[in-house]
């Protein structure tokens, strides 16, 4: 039996109290992607995407949200500030505070990506089966639904202040939105509504599947990588 091990991260560390890992391309990066995982997930679950992004010439940086993986503490009202801090960190690794940057988030990570796009001056967003505030709130209140450590009242207050419908309506960058019709956690109608609100959106809806299937589908992973590479390359040319 031949065992093949995936490429390990180029670098790992801690920033802003958050554990991170990065995958660098073989040549000079043409922009970066900040990868945001879902609830009860970890950065390692997104390494397949990060490797593909690096192979396409982008620096990919993932991190564990607070209360997840190797990041201590609780997820709380500073969750969006954490994304902003890591976006600045990713641009620092690129050596340019104005470097083109995309956000790629799944489920809860999709909610954060859409909610933070303006805050971090994102040039592109990929949201996969993104949660809405109402879906996250329901999960937080359901017994035994989420295991991650959180300050629930403060986190719910954050959800009350940030609705993804408003964020998408005001989004001033390219958006790729993907959803599986078979998703039983986040209804496909949610992404259909978001796609209708966006100014510049490519919407991909696939038959069947489930809440996590799109994240690791090779063909759809390629769609996300090509979208980001093309959009970030155009953003770099405009600077």
Q: Cα–chain-centroid distance for residue 182?
A: 21
Spatial distance between the Cα atoms of 239 and 237, rounded to a whole number of angstroms: 6
Quickly tell me which residue has 């620096």 as its tokens.
59
Maximal CA-CA distance, the chain = 53
> Within 10 A of 157 (CB to CB), how many other CB atoms are there?
12
The pLDDT, as a whole number, for residue 209 is 93
Please write the tens of the pLDDT for every residue from 129-170: 999 999 999 999 999 899 999 999 999 999 999 999 999 999
Q: Cα–chain-centroid distance for residue 29?
A: 19
The pLDDT, as a whole number, for residue 161 is 97
**What domains are defined for the chain?**
11-238 (3.40.50.1820)
Spans of the chain below 50 pLDDT = none
Signed CA dihedral, 225, 229, 230, 232: sign only: positive
The pLDDT, as a whole number, for residue 38 is 97
The pLDDT, as a whole number, for residue 237 is 87
Quickly tell me which residue has 């299937």 as its tokens.
213
Residue pair 71/19 in contact by the 8 Å Cβ criterion: yes
Burial class for 194, CB neighbours closer than 10 Å (0-12, 13-18, 19+)? buried
The pLDDT, as a whole number, for residue 3 is 60
Is the pTM of the predicted complex or chain greater than 0.85?
yes
The pLDDT, as a whole number, for residue 1 is 62
Residue ranges in the chain assigned as alpha helix (H): 47-55, 79-94, 108-116, 133-141, 152-161, 164-169, 188-197, 218-238
């Amino acid at each position: 039996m031949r065992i093949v091990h995936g490429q390990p991260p180029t670098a790992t560390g801690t920033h802003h109290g958050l554990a991170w890992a990065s995958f660098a391309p073989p040549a000079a990066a043409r922009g970066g992607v900040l990868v945001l995982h879902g609830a009860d997930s970890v950065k390692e679950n997104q390494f397949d995407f990060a490797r593909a992004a690096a192979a396409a010439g982008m620096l990919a940086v993932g991190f564990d949200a607070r209360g997840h993986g190797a990041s201590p503490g609780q997820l709380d009202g500073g969750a969006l500030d954490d994304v902003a801090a890591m976006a600045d960190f990713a641009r620092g690794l690129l050596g340019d505070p104005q470097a083109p940057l995309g956000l790629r988030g799944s489920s809860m990570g999709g909610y954060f990506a859409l909610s933070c796009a303006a805050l971090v001056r994102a040039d592109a967003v990929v949201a996969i089966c993104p949660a809405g505030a109402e879906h996250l709130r329901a999960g937080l209140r359901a017994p035994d639904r989420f295991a991650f450590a959180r300050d629930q009242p403060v986190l719910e207050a954050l959800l009350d202040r940030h609705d993804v419908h408003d964020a998408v309506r005001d989004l001033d960058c390219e958006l790729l939105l993907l959803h599986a019709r078979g998703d039983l956690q986040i209804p496909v109608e949610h992404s259909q509504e978001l796609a209708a609100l966006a100014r510049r959106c490519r919407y991909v809806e696939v038959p069947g599947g489930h809440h996590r299937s799109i994240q690791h589908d090779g063909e759809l992973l390629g769609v996300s990588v090509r979208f980001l590479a093309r959009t970030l390359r155009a953003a770099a040319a405009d600077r």
